[in-house]
Amino acid sequence: MIIKEESFPSGDLGFLSQLGLRAEELIFFDIETTGLSAHNASLYLIGTVVYEGGSWKLQQLFAESLTDEIEMLEHFFALLSKKKLLLSFNGERFDIPFLEKLLSQYGLSESFQGIKSLDLYRELRPAKKLLSLPNYQLKSCERFLGIQREDRFSGGELIYVYLDYLKTKDPKREELLLLHNKEDLKNLPALLPLLSYARLFQHPLPLSSVRLISSSRELPSPDEGEDTLSESILEGAAGAFSESSRPDSCKASKGLRSGDSSIFPSGDFPEDSPCLCLSYRVSPAFPKALFRERERFRILLSGNTLLLYVKLYQGELKYFYPDPKNYYYLPQEDNAVHRSVGEFVDKAFRVKATARTAYQRRSGLFLPELLPLFSPLFQKEYRAAVFYAEFKEELFQDPEKADAYLKSFLKTL
């Protein structure tokens, strides 16, 4: 067995504490094998990264021959026993099960019991649609963050390089094998900030401000580019909008199909519709600005801020009473009144209300909802697909509802 070691700078580790992690307790690992199953494939490389003396320390255990597997396993688990959290990329689906099968085959007592596992690939699942990467292989995640690699081979291609190495012991082939694993491992700590995107779906986000924009024409455009947006839009959102920008009419349970790109009927929202901007605080910061758009809402992620822009509906809507049998409909007024009041209305001007006519009309500014979070709920017509709540800034005083409102939009991306 050959042991290779080197150190590399740790950089700013502040994001680790924001994720609730301590560098001294972590061990990153990645293995290289000659196949997918431990029953008919061999382990030829185990790489680890730990934090020591103010920097990351890389260690690689390389099998000069197929008889080195037991020695490699014992060495790895001796190091693992000193740490509390094992970090990997797809390790819970491949690396860990592979090593567990090897341990069983050799009758070794070592195990992964007693140590927690954090699989970056699994943790990023909730953010897949948000990130919109071509795939979620390690190299795609690296490219998203602008991480460059010297290695150009896949793990599958290197199987043949290793089999040839066993015959020739060619140092150049050894170097290729070590380089692939080394770059996988050195880049794993740099990928941890990607978890900030996944945390949007897993943790509550505090709302920092609620602002009204007089016209949706002022919304950010994807044509501006994410870098430009992250600077100009956040700067503009930092200050409160003046009272003069408010529309004159603004006064101080069913969900929709997730993934529907036309969530709200386009005719309900003219191009100059008023728009709500909700600003949420995020920790740790996003490593890269993102801009995502659907027909009636937009989301901007940048730094420690998430901005949700939602077009509001300005006009008349109806509130449908849940117990229509207790109401009379007044055709001339196009409204329903409770029967305790309707009894005093001339019979010629009233009819018993139905589910479709037991409503009260209301004009104003309304907030579209994907989930029935705020009440009372308004609709354009009976059983219309979209629900609304009368817009008031106080709607978002409940932190749980403010967070749930954001997540209802995130889930449609």
pLDDT at residue 114, rounded to an integer: 87
The amino acid sitting at 95 is D
The amino acid sitting at 205 is L
Radius of gyration of the chain measured on its C-alpha atoms = 29
The helix (run of H) or strand (run of E) holding residue 96 is helix 96-106
**345: containing domain:** 322-352
Residues 121 and 40 in one domain: yes
Task: Compute the distance between CA of residue 233 and CA of residue 216 in angstroms, rounded to an integer.
Answer: 14
Q: Backbone dihedral region of 364: left (phi > 0), alpha (psi from -120 to 50 degrees) or beta?
A: left
pLDDT at residue 218, rounded to an integer: 60
Residues 335 and 269 in one domain: no
Residues 54 and 161 in one domain: yes
Task: Compute the distance between CA of residue 59 and CA of residue 99 in angstroms, rounded to an integer.
Answer: 17
Residues 36 and 51 in one domain: yes
pLDDT at residue 216, rounded to an integer: 61
- E strands present in 109-204: 116-119
SS3 154: coil
Q: Which residues contact 196 (CB under 8 A, 6 or more apart)?
A: 15, 282, 283, 284, 285, 286, 287
pLDDT at residue 272, rounded to an integer: 73
The answer to whether residues 273 and 387 touch, using CB atoms and an 8 Å cutoff, is no
Residues 196 and 231 in one domain: no
Tokens 């026993």 correspond to 81
The answer to whether residues 30 and 146 touch, using CB atoms and an 8 Å cutoff, is no
Residues 108 and 42 in one domain: yes
Residues 25 and 104 in one domain: yes
Residues 124 and 244 in one domain: no
Task: Compute the distance between CA of residue 18 and CA of residue 284 in angstroms, rounded to an integer.
Answer: 6
Cα angle: 380, vertex 386, 391; to 5 degrees: 80
Residues 63 and 148 in one domain: yes
- E strands present in 24-165: 26-33, 43-52, 55-62, 85-88, 116-119
Residues 34 and 90 in one domain: yes
Report the interhelical angle of 155-168 vs 171-191 (nearest 10°). 150
Task: Compute the distance between CA of residue 195 and CA of residue 125 in angstroms, rounded to an integer.
Answer: 10
pLDDT at residue 261, rounded to an integer: 36
Per-residue tens of pLDDT for the chain, all 413 residues = 999 999 999 988 999 999 999 999 999 999 999 999 988 999 999 999 999 999 999 999 999 999 999 999 999 999 999 999 999 999 999 999 999 999 999 999 999 998 999 999 999 999 999 999 999 999 999 999 999 999 888 888 999 999 999 999 999 999 999 999 999 999 999 999 999 999 999 999 999 999 999 876 665 554 444 444 444 444 444 333 333 333 333 332 233 333 333 444 445 555 678 999 999 999 999 999 999 988 789 999 999 999 999 999 999 999 999 999 999 999 999 999 999 999 999 999 999 999 999 999 999 999 999 999 999 999 999 999 889 999 998 999 999 999 999 999 999 88
Cβ atoms < 10 Å from Cβ of 220: 22
Residues 35 and 95 in one domain: yes
The amino acid sitting at 39 is H
Q: 178: domain CATH number?
A: 3.30.420.10
Task: Name which of 360, 385, 386, 390 is nearest 375 in CA terms.
Answer: 390
Residues 186 and 288 in one domain: no
Count the domains in the chain.
3
Give me 31's structure tokens.
């293995």
Reported residue count of the chain is 413
Q: What is the pLDDT of residues 288-328, one digit of tens each?
A: 999 998 878 999 999 999 999 999 999 999 999 999 999 99
Task: Compute the distance between CA of residue 80 and CA of residue 174 in angstroms, rounded to an integer.
Answer: 25
Q: What is the pLDDT of residues 335-356, one digit of tens each?
A: 999 999 999 999 999 999 999 9
What secondary structure does DSSP assign to 280-310, as a single string?
EE-SSPPSS-EEEE-SSEEEEEETTEEEEEE
Task: Compute the distance between CA of residue 93 and CA of residue 301 in angstroms, rounded to an integer.
Answer: 30
pLDDT at residue 271, rounded to an integer: 64
Task: Compute the distance between CA of residue 189 and CA of residue 58 in angstroms, rounded to an integer.
Answer: 12
Task: Compute the distance between CA of residue 387 and CA of residue 255 in angstroms, rounded to an integer.
Answer: 8
pLDDT at residue 240, rounded to an integer: 31
Q: Which residues contact 148 (CB under 8 A, 6 or more apart)?
A: none
